[in-house]
Copies of this chain bind each other. A is one copy, B any other.
Amino acid sequence: MRKVILGVAVSLDSFIEGPNGEYNWCFTDQDYGLKEFFKRVDTIFVGRKTYEMSSEMEGGGSGFPKFKEYVFSTTLDKVKKGATIIKGDIKTEVEKIKNEKGKDIWLFGGASLTTSLMNLGLVDELSLAVYPILLGGGKPLFNNIKHRIKLKLVDAKSYASGLVSLTYNIHTL
């Protein structure tokens, strides 16, 4: 079965955005394993807010490779060409997609979609780029996780820039 991988940049105090929505703490001086990661995935899951923000920013395009995109939203009626809206029961829909043939799936965010999928036990792997900074506030990576989730560390890599890349499998309950 295809894996759903939450792949995200995070501050050491576990924020994905600063207090004013800033991402300017994410340095991009090198690849940090992204190219390898992109080889593993062919599909991306995004929440409605994230979808709207990235469509706005990039006019619907993106610097990423071409992924099959699923937008999770109960309110949107239309999304850009090539994307698909997921409106129905999340668990059923995601399980269906996970059972289809294909590479793994990148759960891109945002926080609300991440929380839903985590609480439904639909996320298989965490791939975190931990930046050497404390933001002190902002949007937490995890919000309203309902119960403890045990993780299995599968890889830890540190870079001279201070970035630490941590990969965990999520134990099935």
Contact = CB atoms under 8 A, between A and B. Distances in A.
Nearest to A150: B133
Given A133-B148, A135-B145, A152-B162, 7 more contacts: A12-B168, A13-B140, A132-B151, A132-B168, A133-B149, A153-B162, A153-B163
B135 A148 contact: yes
Contacts of A156: 156, 158, 164
> Which 5 pairs between the two chains have the least Cβ-Cβ distance?
A136-B145, A153-B162, A156-B158, A14-B14, A132-B151
Contact of A145 (B137, B148, B152, B153): B137
A146 interface: yes
Interface in A132-173: 132-137, 140-142, 144-153, 156, 158, 162-164, 166, 168
A25 interface: yes
A7 interface: no
State how many copies of this chain the complex holds: 2
Nearest to A157: B156
Nearest to A165: B156
Given A12-B168, A13-B14, A14-B14, A153 B146 contact: no
Contacts of A136: 142, 144-149
Contacts of A14: 12-14
